[in-house]
């Protein structure tokens, strides 16, 4: 099965920007509401966990997409070469058949 998803090259950049904005928002909220350092750290850890998971997902999708592209190229080469072999076999069969008929 080939994956056909195309991810934009800007997706990781957008993810990084979103991460930075979320961290900034957490610190701003923490200052306004006087959250403790442990609460801020717990929230930041949760954001970090989601960020790393998404980053890993995008990296894996890129790697899988590259592998799928190579597999598609190899498969298309094999398909065309097997088709050429089949055409050559048919030609040789008819050529041999016509020689055998002409000699009979």
Query: At residue 10, does pLDDT exceed 70?
Result: no
Residue 3 lies in a domain: no
Tell me whether residue 2 is in a domain. Answer: no
What confidence tens digit (pLDDT) does each residue in 85-104 have? Answer: 565 555 555 555 555 444 33
| pTM, full prediction | 0.56
The confidence score (pLDDT) of residue 89 equals 57
Q: What is the pLDDT of residues 30-53, one digit of tens each?
A: 999 999 999 999 999 999 999 999
Q: Within a domain: residue 75?
A: yes
pLDDT of 19 reads 93
Question: Is residue 72 domain-resident?
Answer: yes
Assess if residue 27 is contained within a domain. Answer: yes
Nearby residues of 6 by Cβ (< 8 Å), 6 or more positions away: 65
Query: Which residue from 17, 28, 14, 23 is spatially nearest to 43, judged by alpha carbons?
Result: 23
Residue 6 is assigned to a structural domain of this protein? no
Q: For residue 53, what are the domain limits?
A: 11-103
Q: Is residue 45 part of a domain?
A: yes
Number of domains, the chain:
1
Determine the Cα–Cα distance for residues 21 and 67; give it in Å rounded to an integer. Answer: 33
Per mean pLDDT, which range of 6-10, 13-17, 34-38, 78-82 is the poorest? 6-10
């Amino acid at each position: 099965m080939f994956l056909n998803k195309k991810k934009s090259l800007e997706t990781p950049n957008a993810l990084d920007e979103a991460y930075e904005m979320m961290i900034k928002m957490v610190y701003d909220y923490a200052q306004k509401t006087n959250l403790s350092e442990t609460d801020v750290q717990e929230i930041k850890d949760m954001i970090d966990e989601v960020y790393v998971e998404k980053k890993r997902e995008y990296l894996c999708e890129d790697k899988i997409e590259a592998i799928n592209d190579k597999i598609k190229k190899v498969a298309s080469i094999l398909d065309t070469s097997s088709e050429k072999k089949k055409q050559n076999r048919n030609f040789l069969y008819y050529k041999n058949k016509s020689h055998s008929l002409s000699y009979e």
